[in-house]
Chain A
Amino acid sequence: MNERLDPDDRRLASALTALDPSADQVSRMAGAVAAQVARRARALSAEWLELLRQRPLVNGPLALAGACVMLATTPFGTLLWGLLSAGLG
């Protein structure tokens, strides 16, 4: 802190050190942060593939349903449908 602290400021700042995390908490959080940062860094497609690889029976239908919803509710689906219709016609 760059400001001049009076004795009460110092006492309170010092008292708040009682809230410091334990060593176990620090390492536990470190592990979780590292895992989440790594997960964010991975491509979304890799996440999907990993999910499918881990539990294909559960996640396969879910992925399919997700894809159907995306196709039905976004302009991308309409465009794809239009292209397919034009191609077939």
Chain B
Amino acid sequence: MTSIDSLLVHLFAALAPGATAPEDDAEVLRLVGRARQGDRSAGEALYRLHVRRVFRAVRPLCRSEQETEEVVQESFVRALAGLGGYRPRPGSRFVSWLMTIAANVARRRSRWFRRAVYDCPAPEVSHELQPDELLDSQRRRAALLEALATLAPRDREVVSMRYGSDLSCAEVAEATGLSEVNVRKICERQRRKLLELLEAKLGAAETAGRSA
């Protein structure tokens, strides 16, 4: 590993994993411009701003936490290396371009492995949570993944992007190649089903209250 590699690894690993700043599209575009010119700190900032959204949307499309990490990593590497090809358009944010890349990576992997089995999450010990909170968080996570696994792959992708990545229906339509009307229909149909499944697994109060 060269000294540049070490520096980059160190800089990225030192990123505070805590709260992220609220996304400001103008700020994101400034960061994209700086990252294109080779500014590493801008690339790190883009990663920090978007990693949670991407992970949240990709997780239901993958079999395991490990695979999700790999997909997220590959997506960011592709995005950061291909920033020159990013063209901002009205109504389409950077995050939707990023999610298009991530969904393509996840889809390609899924075709590659030809499987339809989605495992429950491998519990990972988090140092941020107390034991009770950890158990609760793992329970909610497992229930959510089980509920999402009941959806058809295309619907799961749409729902994950819309609610996990916070994309608009138009952005999801652009990323998936479906029509906006179709995306709206899928969301309307599936969100009720998912909430009912979650309520059945966790109880109404918990679904509505704790996750909010």
Number of interface residues of A (CB under 8 A): 37
Which chain A residues numbered 25 to 52 have a C-beta less than 8 Å away from chain B?
25-40, 42
Contact A37 B77 (CB under 8 A): yes
Which chain B residues numbered 1 to 49 have a C-beta less than 8 Å away from chain A?
1-2, 4-5, 8-9, 11-13, 15, 17-18, 43-44, 47
A12 contacts across to B, CB distance below 8 A: 159, 163, 191, 194-195
Binary A-proximity of B61-78 (CB < 8 A = 1, otherwise 0) = 000010011001100110
**Interface of B (DSSP majority class):** helix
Contact B15 A15 (CB under 8 A): no
Contact A38 B168 (CB under 8 A): no
B51 contacts across to A, CB distance below 8 A: 21, 26, 29-30
Q: Which residue of B lies closest to A2 (CB)?
A: B168
15 of the cross-chain contacts (CB-CB < 8 Å) are A8-B195, A12-B163, A15-B198, A17-B211, A18-B144, A19-B145, A21-B69, A26-B15, A27-B15, A27-B17, A30-B13, A31-B12, A31-B13, A34-B12, A34-B44
